[in-house]
Every structure is written in C-alpha cells, then in structure tokens.
Structure 1
Amino acid sequence: MATSSKLIGYLPDDRPPFGQMLLLGFQHVITMFPATVLCALLMGFPVSTVLTVTGFGTIVALVGAKLSMGKFIPLYYGSSFSYIAAVTAITQPTFGVPADPALLSIVQVGFIATGVINIIVGLIIRASGGKKAVDMILPPVVTGSVACTIGIGLGASALNMASGVAGGILTGDLKWWAAALVTLLAAFLFSTYLQGKGFISMLPILLGAIVGYLVAIPLGLVNWSGAFTRSLITVPAFTFPNFASDMTLTVIFGVGIMAIATIPESTAHLYQISLYVDHLADEMGRERYGLSKYIGLNMMLDGLNDLINGLFGSTAGTNYGENNSLMVITRNYSGPVLITAGAISMLLGFIGPLADLVSTIPTAVSGGLSIYLFGVIGMQGIALMMSEKVNLFDPAQLAIGAVILIVGIGGNIGFAGGFLPIPALQGLFPNGWPAIATAAVAGILMNLILVFFKPPVVREAVH
C-alpha cells in the first residue's frame, strides 16, 4: 500500500534557502553541461566562453521575464544542435580545438540574425493575440509532436554516451554500460522513493550523478589527465561579431534561417513547463501561473539570448528540454534556482579547477542521466497533447503528428548529423535539411491547410 507523502515543490517565484539554491542550481548545471559543452566542441567555440555567456544569457532572460510581467519563466538557455551544420560549414573546426576567432566572429553575425528573427516573431505574436494566434500555426498536436520528436530523436545520442560509442569504442564497452545503467537506476530510484522526504527529494539527478561517478572510478572511466592543470582564474576568450565580412549575407541567411528549428522547439518547451507549473500550483492550492500565454515574450527572450550569444562569442541556442525534464522530475521550477545555475555556469568559465572537476564526469554517467532526461522530454510532449485534449481519433490530427514523428525521429537517427538528404536549397542547407526543423515545418504547413480549407467532417474526441 502506498504511503502518503508531504508535498514538496517550488513554483517559479519561490526562493529556496541559499544552501538549497546552490545544490539545486548545480544540479541544473550537471544537466545542461553535456549538451552545452558538446555543441561548443563540435562547432569550434571555446568551452569556457560558451559556459560563461550562456549562463549570463539565462540570467538576463529570467530577469527580463520578471521585470516584464512580474514573474519568472523558468527556462534554462544553452546551445542548440540545430546550428551545427550551418556553423561548421564556415568554421571547419577540429573536434575540441577552438576555431579561428576570425571565423567565429563571422558566424556570430548569423546568431544575431536568429536573435532578431525571434524577437520579431515574438512581437508579431504579442500584437496578434498571443497563444490563441500561435495555436492557429502551432497547435498542440504540432508542439506536442515536436517535443516528442526532440526527446526521442536524442535517444541515439544518449545511448552512444552510455555505450562507449561516443568515446570512440564503436563496439560498445560493458564498463560504460555498467556505469550508465547504475546511474540511470540510481536516478530512477532516488526520484521515485525519495518523494516526500524533504529537500533531498529534489536532488535525484545530482544524487544519481554522484553514484554513477563513484562507480565509474574503479571502472577506470574517470579521466584525470589534464584535470586541475589550469590556473585558478581564467578569462574566457570573448570574440565579437564582424559585420564587414564578405560572408555577412551568407551567414545571415545560412545561419539565421535555423530559427525555424528553435521557434517550434522553444514554443513546445514553454507549453510543457506551463502545464507542469500549473499542475503543481493546483496541488499546492496556489494561483496558476498560466505561462503559456506569454509565448510572445518567451520568443523575445529567446531572441535576446541569441543576441547575447552573438555579441560575445557563444553558440546560438534555445531553452533546454533536459532542464525542463529535471524540473518536472524534481518539481522545482524556481526562477532564483535557475539564476543560481546561470551564475555557476559563468563561474565555470572563469574558475579553472571547478570547470576541470565537472569535465571529469564520465560520458557514460552523462549517458545514463540522458536516457532518463531525454525520455522525459518525449513524455512531456505526450502529456501536453493529453492536457490540450488533442483529438487523436481525427485523421487530420493523426496525420500531422505522424509526419512530424517519422520525419523528425527517422531523419535525426537515420541520417548523419540528423540531416535529410534532400538536394534542394543547398545554398542554405549544404549538408541536407535538418530533420527536426523540416518535420516541424511540415507539421505547420499541414495544419495551415486545415486552417484555410476546413475539412468536411471533424470527429469528436472519444472520452
């Protein structure tokens, strides 16, 4: 028989005690660290710079929301894989080696373009009716399916990290699997059986990472070579955009166009977090936040974050689904905690030994956590469609969701880099069309057909 447990959780404007904020913030950093660092390494950006600037951008977005509407929108901002192909076509990086700063400065102009596009879209949304207007273009069947696609589409990345493939062991390694599975099991058990046990119930991912790390040490998976060799204080290598390059127009279109991938993603993330925040508010008997109606502001903050990235030399991105997953698992949506996480990320960019310590976390441990976190992103998409009562007995809704899932997941897993081999618009997409962005656009276009040409029969949902 299940025992009752005390309700534990933080809403966006709640401020935990300082010690708790540090631990909860560090848990967010561990969650965002693998993807943020990997994006930097793949695109040729200095890791310390990316950690510093994305942390700062997160703080600016959170404070911007608070100043604009009096409450936080609890989202963490990091790098996006959507930009990798467009960026690497220009930077031509060697993995793990920062690219030529002159090339990074050129690419940063494209990041500024994505920021401007997001801000313009946000202004249009705010002027045209907010969520109601957005739902005509991005209805729940699109945003929910995109969320599912993002989470499940990242499944291969999680398994590559867990198996050893990401570490160059193409046949996999039982030691990697062991560390990953112990980490996953620990995170699962902590998140399940610590419920109602006070503050510790909000740290399952951090605790899972610690258990996995301790198991990885005797397995020889913790690499200490090069650790703690940097000076105590290091200054990140900031670069600034070059608007005078001959490639300016190329990067504005080639990189800026990738906003088509992050706009549906950011919208889905906001809808997801709004759903769960309101659910917690209901359980706590407190007023609902209704964050989903601030989609225009969210898009503008997303754009502001990209402007910051473009100005100071970080990778463009969006708010992170894996941090959303963490908040759902821990029931911690505190804006001050996310600000703390942003501050810790900035410190990682300046304090060498601290960054070195975090960088020793084995990829297998990150993989074990990612199996859980990426899967929760997908499950949140399903929860969103259920909450919005998407009628999956309607063939039109089924078709939209089906196309998004197959094109997005199949393309992301089945083709190198997640790019569909479509030989069109190769000037914009030299490596192919990004699968998830293409899936989102396909879903949007299919939905617009329904908007302009009403189907003759609309089936009612079966309850």
Structure 2
Amino acid sequence: MTPRGLAVVQANRGRVMGYLPQDRPPLGALVSLGFQHVLTMFPATVLVAILTGFDVGVTLFASGLATIVAVLGSRGRIPLYYGGSFAYIAPVKTVADASWGGLQVAQVGVVATGVVNGIVGWLIQRAGKARLDRILPPAVTGAVAVVIGIALAKTAMDMASKHWGIALATLVLTILFSVYLQGRGLWGMLPVLLGAACGYALAAAMGYVDLTPVREAPWFAVPRFQLPAFTAPGAWQAVLAIAPVAIATIPESTAHLYQISLYVDRLAEEMQRPPLRIKELIGLNLVLDGLADVVHGLLGASSGTNYGENNSLMAITRNYSTAVLVAAGVIAMALGFFSKLAALVATIPEFVTGGLAIYLFGVIGMQGIALMMAERVNLFDPRQLAIGAVILVIGIGGNAFEGGNIPVGGVRLPAIATAAVAGILLNLLFLALDGRRAGGRGPAGASSRPAPASAGDD
C-alpha cells in the first residue's frame, strides 16, 4: 500500500470509535469504562447473593476474579464479564435450606457445575465447532438469547415501577446518550454510566437517596470467604441438584459468545482490520465458564455465568476491550473489601436500575434476533420455525410461573433450562429423522440459500 493509501486507511480508522478485544484505552478511560461494567453487573450479582444467602462481598470479589481469570485464560481474546447467575438461584437455595444441606454444601454443587462446563468445553475443543453447531445451531442459541432478555422483562418492569417517573427519565436519557454521543470520544462510550448518574442525581434531589448506610459502613471489611463442604453427607445430593442446570447456561454462554463475536467482527470491518471470529473459541469459552464457576464455588458464592447485560453494554458503547474487563474485575474485587464504596453503589435506587434494565435486558433479546439474522436462520423452514417457537413459548411463558420454574407433576423445572433442552431435543429429532440430507447440512443450520426441491427442505 502506498503512503497516501495508508494515510487514508488510518484516517478512516480514526473516524470509527470503539475498542476491539486486544485494544487498550488510556488509563482514565480504562477506569471509567471498567466502572461502567461494574455498575452494569452490580444489581444482578448482588441480588443473586442476597437471594441465595451468600456474602455480598465474597460474591463481588469472586465475580471480579472470575472475569480476570477468564480474560487471562483466553489471552485477552474473549470479552465477557462473569457475575452471579439467576438460573441457579432455585436449586442453590433449595440445597442451602435443606436439613442435609447449607451454603457450604451448595458450594460443592457450584464447583460441580464448573466441572460439567469444563468437560463439555473440552469435548467441543476435541470434536470441533462444526459438531456443536449441529446440536446448538443459531436457531437454538438465538432463540435462547431472546428468551433470556425477554424473560427478564418483568424483573425490569417491577424495578422501574417503584417510581415510573425517574425510571423512565433514566431510560430515555440513557438511550439518548447512547445514540447521540456515539462517536464522540470517551463520553460516547459511557451512556449507561451517564444515564445512571443522571437518574441518581434526580432521585437524590427528590429525596429518594439515603446515605446513612454509607456513613455507617466501615471503610474496609474482609469478606466472609468459606470453602465448600466436600465431605458433608449431602455433598452428592448437592451435585445432583445443582450441576444439571448447566444444561441451561451452556446454550446461554454459547449465545452470548456468538452475539459478541458478531458485533466485534462488525466493528473490525469498520476499522478495516481483520475479523477476529471469536465464536470459533466456543470450546475454550465453556472451559473458562466452568473455571469461573469453580472460582465462585471455592470462595463462597453462587454459580456464575457471562453476563448478557454487559454484552449489551459493549454492543451499545462499541467497547470490547478485555483490558477494560480486567479493570472492571479489579474494581469489583476492591468493592468486596471497600465497604463504603460498595455501600454507595448500593444506594442507587431500584427504580433507577430498573430504567437501565429495561434498555439492557431488551438489547439482550434484540441481540438474539441479530444473531439469527446474521447467521441467516431460515424462518420459512418449518423445522427452524418450530425450534424457535417452542423455545420462546416455554422459556417466556414458563418464566411467568413462580420463581421462573414450570410445575410438572411433583417437580419444578427451570424455564430457561427447559426451553433450551426442548429446542436441543427437537433439533436432534429432526437430525435423526432427516438423516444425511442436503450434503450433511443440519435441518436447523444457518444457511439461507434455497435447496433444490428434491432435497425436501421446504
């Protein structure tokens, strides 16, 4: 390339705002963007800790450490943040409250979940992504992503309903910041932080912020770390009760990786840089997901997963820097010890967080749709249409039951896990019935190219 041509390319890059996974922002941006990640994950992660009974400080510390371990394990290639998972609340609480259980016994099941994820990831690395795509095609992962986002809609609305005026003001300001500040330097990458700050200031001005917990909190406190009770009589029962929920988080984690890969490669294209195709790292991603669960379980926290909310944040801000995720992890770990700062973040009113959640949870669902569009899922194919339809209704409808668990006979099945399993089994049924058709292409594959009539794909 001529010097003039190189100058033109560099000028074009300069007009594209964003960071790819291995880009490192300046220190000031690193800290502010990292704090925005923490703010995004904070409500859900703390809520998981409160609902399961685990120590909040330990949960925040484990969240940050798990994220750093995962980033380092991927050598900075996979930009995902790890926090507490809602999918595990019911089984963890069941074990914790059982006469034979307790929190330390539940931690054994959390560690086992990590082992299950790790084994599945290793098998995928050995077998190859192509085989995974036959079991978890975009019709499944995209629909699961939609379910994850939309199933959380009631949670977001409940939070916002505590004060609709401030919640909607927070929502509208965050959206305006994300749209009209895009491409305007660092400010354009902080719409959620700016929206939260405006909502917080409005709530404080109206007398809805109580700083008493901040004044009463000590400056520093050591979180209550605790080891799992591996030798407890109920340890194996905990494993059997908690580990199978990985059936839900494996498709969820796969969907998150595919989504973020889509957006990363789009930004790389705009920057005239080669695509990173991080979706090819799905096996490694699941191994790291499992490692994150092991970190949570060993320290004294509930099972984790990579966060769709933070994926939404990255898609909105076009910031996929893993250095920023490491900074977020360090901040989260510090919050576990720095009680006043954790108390200050905890004073953010629930309705302010609800305004943010309406946007962030909705973006999760929209990313699932974007994934299916990008992978050219043919929704005129009755097979793919059936898979998506079953997942959506079971996942979203099932989440309307108490605790998001579907009552079937004498058991309660977690809605998202059940929806994912139903989609996977339906896809496997089509594979078994159709056999080796259309050159081995799976019936729920991503191709939009019409096959010959004799192939029977329509």
1:147 aligns with 2:136: no
Distance 1:450 1:274, change over 3 A: same
Matched, 1:421 2:407: yes
Q: 2 CA distance for matches of 1:440 and 1:105? A: 29
Who is 2:4 aligned against? none
* Structure 1: distance between partners of 2:109 and 2:172: 41
The one of 288, 292, 297 aligned to 1:310: 297
Aligned to 1:434: 414
Q: Is the 8 A contact 1:213 1:365 kept in 2?
A: yes
Counterpart CA distance in 1 for 2:306 and 2:216 is 32
CA contact (8 A) 2:95 2:241 kept: no
Is the CA contact (8 Å cut-off) linking 1:393 and 1:461 kept in structure 2?
no
2:132 is the alignment partner of 1:134: yes
Corresponding residue of 2:111: 112
- 1:461 Cα shift? 4.2
Report whether the alignment pairs 1:297 with 2:291.
no
Q: 2:138 corresponds to which letter in structure 1?
A: P
Where in structure 1 do 4 or more consecutive aligned residues deviate above 3 Å?
A: 455-463
Percent of counterpart pairs with the same letter?
56
Distance (Å, rounded) in 2 between the aligned partners of 1:219 and 1:396: 54
Question: Is 1:157–2:155 an aligned residue pair?
Answer: yes
Give the alignment's TM-score, normalised by structure 1. 0.90
Residue 429 of structure 1 corresponds to which residue in structure 2? none
The residue type equivalent to 2:405 in the other structure is: F
Secondary structure in 1 matching 2:408: coil
Residue matched to 1:170 = none
Secondary structure, in 3 states, of the residue corresponding to 1:421? strand
**Residue of structure 2 equivalent to 1:87:** 92
Map of 2:252 onto structure 1: 265
Q: CA deviation at 1:206?
A: 0.3
Aligned mate of 1:77, from 78, 82, 101: 82
Partners of 1:310 and 1:316 within 8 A in 2: yes
Question: Which secondary structure does the structure 2 equivalent of 1:228 belong to?
Answer: helix
Question: What CA distance in whole angstroms lies between the structure 2 residues aligned with 1:350 and 1:392?
Answer: 50
CA contact (8 A) 1:158 1:371 kept: yes
Q: Distance in 1 between matches of 2:161 and 2:144?
A: 26
Q: Aligned to 2:41, which of 32, 41, 45?
A: 32
Q: For the residues of structure 2 that align with 1:80 and 1:212, how far apart are their CA atoms?
A: 26
| Counterpart in the other structure of 1:447 | 427
1:227 to partner: Cα distance: 2.2
Query: Equivalent residue for 2:57?
Result: 48
2:102 is aligned to 103
Secondary structure of 1:244's partner? coil
Count residues in correspondence. 430
List per-residue Cα deviations over 1:9-40 (Å, max 9, x = no partner).
Answer: 00000000001000000000010001000000
Task: Give the deviation of 1:92 after TM superposition.
Answer: 3.1
* 1:14 counterpart (23, 38, 55): 23
Alpha-carbon offset, residue 299 of structure 1: 0.2
RMSD, aligned CA:
1.8
Distance 1:314 1:269 in 2: 22
The answer for the alignment partner of 2:349 in structure 1 is 362
Check if 1:206 corresponds to 2:206.
Answer: no
CA contact (8 A) 1:280 1:331 kept: yes
Q: Deviations over 1:168-224 (max 9, x none)?
A: xxxxxxxx1111101001100001111221111000000000010011113332132
Give the secondary structure class of the aligned counterpart of 1:433: strand
1:427-455 CA-to-partner distances (Å, cap 9, x unmatched) read xxxxx100010000000000001212118
Partner residue in 1 for 2:274: 287
Check conservation: 2:92, 2:302, Cα contact below 8 A. no
Q: Secondary structure at the match of 1:78?
A: strand
TM-score between the two structures when normalised by the length of structure 2: 0.91
Q: Residue 253 of structure 2: SS of its match in structure 1?
A: helix
Q: Distance in 2 between matches of 1:198 and 1:61?
A: 28
Partner of 2:202: 215
In structure 1, how many angstroms separate the alpha carbons of the residues matched to 2:309 and 2:59? 18
Q: Does 1:124 align with 2:123?
A: yes
- Once residues 139 and 444 of structure 1 are traced to their aligned partners in structure 2, the CA distance between those partners, rounded to angstroms, is 9
Once the two structures are TM-superposed, the CA of residue 226 in structure 1 deviates from its matched residue by: 2.1
**What do residues 108-137 of structure 1 show as CA deviations (whole Å, max 9, x unaligned)?**
1001100000010011000001x2111010
Q: Which runs of 5+ in 2 are unaligned?
A: 1-11, 451-458
Looking at structure 2, the residues matched to 61 and 197 of structure 1 have their Cα atoms a distance apart, in angstroms, of 30
Partner of 1:382: 369
Structure 1: segments with no counterpart, 5+ residues: 94-99, 165-175, 427-431
Per-residue Cα deviation, 1:75-114 (whole angstroms, up to 9, x for no partner): 0000001111111112239xxxxxx9x8211111001100
SS of the residue corresponding to residue 418 of structure 2 reads: helix
